[in-house]
Amino acid sequence: MAKSIVLGNGNILVGFDSRGQIRDLYFPYVGLENHAAGHLLHRLGIFVDGKIHWFSDRGWNIRIECGTDSLSSLITAEYPSLGLSVTLSDVVYNEKSILIRKVCVKNLQSEQRTIKFFFCHEFQIYESYRGDTAYFDPQSHTVIHYKGRRVFLLNAASESGAFDDYTTGFFGASGKEGSFKDAEDGVLAKNAIEHGQTDSVIGITLTIPANGEQTVFYWMCIAETITDVHKLNQYVLDRSPEYLMNTTRDYWKAWVNKYNFSFYGLSEKVISLFKKSLFYIRAHVDQGGSILASGDSDIIQQGKDTYGYMWPRDAAFAAMALDRAGDPNVAKRFFEFCNAVITEDGYFMHKYRPDRSLGSSWHPWLYRGEFALPIQEDETAIVLISLWKHYQLSRDLEFVESVYNSLIRKAANFLIEFRDGDTGLPKPSYDLWEEKFGVHTYTAASVYGALIAASQFAGILGKKNNEHLFAVAAREVRDGILRHLYDEQSGLFYKMINRTKNGDVVIDKTVDISSIYGIYAFGVLPADDERVVRALKETEARLMVKAKASGMVRYEGDQYYTVDRNLPGNPWFITTFWLAEYYVMRAEHEADLETVKQWLSWAADHCLVSGVMSEQLDPHSGELVSATPLAWSHSGYVLLLLSYLDALERLGICPTCNPVK
């Protein structure tokens, strides 16, 4: 189930489903550990007129939006036949590990009514069922779940006082569905403690006047000790939940509006998605420097795992997006993360957990019975490229010097050594789509861009020998690309080449948008080079989806989550943005940017109401497919919009469109 909105603060990431209920709950890292496990449910429900109505009931009409200029939710739920409407607003407090929900229940009938609002909790603490405890604490009048150094305190109050009903229980085994069943008669059992696979429910009674409303504040405090969650609970009580919600909104409003972008010629819908994308990227950032690919735990990749890792590639694009939008702090922490995890030989592994340990992988250490590094070499290259772009904006020379030997030079030396002596091209590795092993045009182009960046770093630090060494190697890679990976006859760049054990070259001519994107994005050839123009035109013609949703697929015959085999694949947000980036680079007049504006509007039309974008789209229905949200999609949108603003400045149309320099 896609997440309709995600909220976070660098220590917590909370994912809400389409009914406004918590499905993902990560702590103490963004992406690790998920104490709701994705399949568990923190239900919401109202007991009225002798019956419970859970938010999962189809009688509720629910709309989930992102708050205006803030990383917050705005959820409206109406049940016309009940004569009730509910408005919820949620924030993760920006300073401490506290989730706060404001619930306003409106009585639409002309008579006073008494209802009870229920908050249910199902935890899988440490992502394991064993040894959990849930109990009611009469001293603080709260419910607490804990195991080891993971503690969750739950509280709720209205103007009339604290919650007035509770229970703890056992669920998911021995025939127990869960304590939410206890709420179906409107009265909870007040079981004071339970252990094992535990859940809990708290209820609060509201008497609402005719055509009036009542407000409930609910909060969850998370810490590593019971003492600390009590301190957080007292912090909420002392300052009030509403005050903390307002200060959180103020913080995010100041953050997203730190720079005065002009947004010349763009619609409010497009501008709104830009700000929401920045929020969703930021929500996936961990304080320790990791940038999560997606917190959507329901999407199982390769049938065995989620997107809940840091891929250096995805994270580098996210870092570049936040850098260019005016937040260099995230990028710096990301590069510190990279500096800590790069191997002694100078490359990055497939993916990492937010605690800097190695993530799961399906890349073997053997290829055709011989040793082969289980890496995607472009992930090493893109870190150097993004670090150079970070320096261009931050001019933080002290930081660059601090990581030059341990990160920049180490990675550049690997990129030089990990090459074929005959072609000058990189040795085989896995492609950016994590499927094919070989020498890929995209990977080779990224290596070229990385070596140019390393040479520039060496130059500004006065390391002349390295500057020359890296520049020469970059030229050799570029020459190898144009000699071995370009097909004069078709005018296309190959997806990849490989050698058999006999030394024969096997060419994969599959049209892949990453091949041509790598050429112009990393500077192998300028966008107006006739080879680029020709290859892009053919690629667009063959990979553009001719269906309701439109957009660009990754490559011909893409089967990943494909819904219609008569089409080349599903449109992806990121690949469609790559196409639009080309048109930004080619623009010579304002009219040339109309295509770019159309693709920005296309994205705004195909995301959720909350602004959440997925990885792919169903080409016929336009529904979101695969990981939702995907940080890379939002990063691509931010980078495209900023490139559009830069183009306006380049053309002299809007001299101050982009204030981030």
**CB-CB contact of 322 with 282 (8 Å):** yes
**CB-CB contact of 202 with 76 (8 Å):** no
Q: What is the pLDDT of residue 487?
A: 97
Name the pLDDT band for 176 (thresholds 50, 70, 90). confident
DSSP assignment, residue 399? H
Region 230-252 average pLDDT: 98
Compute the half-sphere exposure of residue 576: CA atoms within 13 Å on the CB side of its CA: 32
The torsion defined by the Cα of 354, 360, 555 and 612, in degrees rounded to 10, comes to -40
Q: What is the pLDDT of residue 16?
A: 97
In this structure, the answer to whether residues 281 and 363 fall within a common structural domain is no
Region 420-424 average pLDDT: 95
In this structure, the answer to whether residues 96 and 233 fall within a common structural domain is yes
CA distances from 190 to 65, 74, 196, 200 (A): 35, 32, 18, 10
pTM: predicted TM-score of the whole model, two decimal places: 0.97
Q: Identify the sign of the CA torsion 54, 60, 63, 68.
A: negative
Name the pLDDT band for 172 (thresholds 50, 70, 90). confident
Longest alpha-carbon distance in the chain: 86
CATH number assigned to the domain comprising residue 410: 1.50.10.10
On the question of pLDDT at 299 being above 80, the answer is no
Q: What is the pLDDT of residue 244?
A: 98
Which string of b and e fits 555-586 if b means at least 16 CB within 10 Å? bbebebbbbeeebbbbbbbbbbbbbbbbbbbb
Cα gap 202→168, rounded to integer Å: 9
Among 460, 482, 485, CA closest to 470 = 460
**Percent of the chain with pLDDT strictly greater than 70:** 99
Region 434-463 average pLDDT: 98
Q: What is the pLDDT of residue 101?
A: 98
Is 394 among the domain residues? yes
H-helix or E-strand spanning residue 661: none
Q: What is the pLDDT of residue 39?
A: 84
In this structure, the answer to whether residues 221 and 331 fall within a common structural domain is no
Is 141 among the domain residues? yes
In this structure, the answer to whether residues 348 and 460 fall within a common structural domain is yes
Q: What is the pLDDT of residue 639?
A: 98
In this structure, the answer to whether residues 427 and 504 fall within a common structural domain is yes
Does a cis peptide bond (omega within 30 degrees of 0) precede residue 629?
yes
Is 109 among the domain residues? yes
Lowest mean pLDDT among 161-175, 334-348, 549-563: 161-175
Region 338-359 average pLDDT: 98
The torsion defined by the Cα of 24, 30, 31 and 33, in degrees rounded to 10, comes to -70
In this structure, the answer to whether residues 90 and 209 fall within a common structural domain is yes
Cα gap 384→400, rounded to integer Å: 11
Lowest mean pLDDT among 31-45, 406-420, 609-623: 31-45
In this structure, the answer to whether residues 126 and 207 fall within a common structural domain is yes
H-helix or E-strand spanning residue 35: none
Residue type, 519: I
Q: What is the pLDDT of residue 300?
A: 64
Among 286, 293, 269, CA closest to 611 = 269
Tokens of 490: 């078709």
Total domains in the chain come to 3
Among 647, 608, 649, 648, CA closest to 630 = 608
Name the pLDDT band for 38 (thresholds 50, 70, 90). confident
In this structure, the answer to whether residues 644 and 592 fall within a common structural domain is yes
Is 414 among the domain residues? yes
Q: How many CB atoms lie within 10 A of CB 519?
A: 29
Domain that holds residue 169: 5-255
| Average pLDDT across the chain, whole number | 96
In this structure, the answer to whether residues 441 and 550 fall within a common structural domain is no
Helices 631-650 & 312-324 angle (0-180, nearest 10): 40
Is 263 among the domain residues? yes
Q: What is the pLDDT of residue 261?
A: 93
CA distances from 651 to 67, 141, 301, 645 (A): 34, 63, 43, 10
Q: What is the pLDDT of residue 130?
A: 86
Is 536 among the domain residues? no
In this structure, the answer to whether residues 75 and 144 fall within a common structural domain is yes
H-helix or E-strand spanning residue 228: helix 226-239
Helices 513-521 & 441-460 angle (0-180, nearest 10): 20
Q: Which residues contact 184 (CB under 8 A, 6 or more apart)?
A: 52
Is 537 among the domain residues? no
- Classify 654 as helix, strand or coil: coil
Residue type, 123: F
- Cα Rg for the chain, rounded, in angstroms? 26
Q: What is the pLDDT of residue 1?
A: 62
DSSP assignment, residue 630? -
Residue type, 60: W
**CB-CB contact of 368 with 434 (8 Å):** no
Helices 241-256 & 226-239 angle (0-180, nearest 10): 90
In this structure, the answer to whether residues 417 and 467 fall within a common structural domain is yes
CA distances from 204 to 30, 163, 291, 301 (A): 31, 4, 38, 40
Conformational region of residue 417, where left means phi above 0, alpha means psi within -120 to 50, and beta covers everything else = alpha
**Cα–Cα–Cα angle for 322, 326, 327, nearest 5°?**
55
pLDDT tens for 181-199 read 999 999 999 999 999 999 9
Region 554-568 average pLDDT: 93
Q: How many CB atoms lie within 10 A of CB 651?
A: 14
In this structure, the answer to whether residues 245 and 138 fall within a common structural domain is yes
On the question of pLDDT at 301 being above 70, the answer is no
Is 533 among the domain residues? no
435 CA to centre of own chain:
21
**CB-CB contact of 39 with 29 (8 Å):** no
Phi and psi, residue 368, nearest 5°: 55, 40
CATH number assigned to the domain comprising residue 207: 2.70.98.10
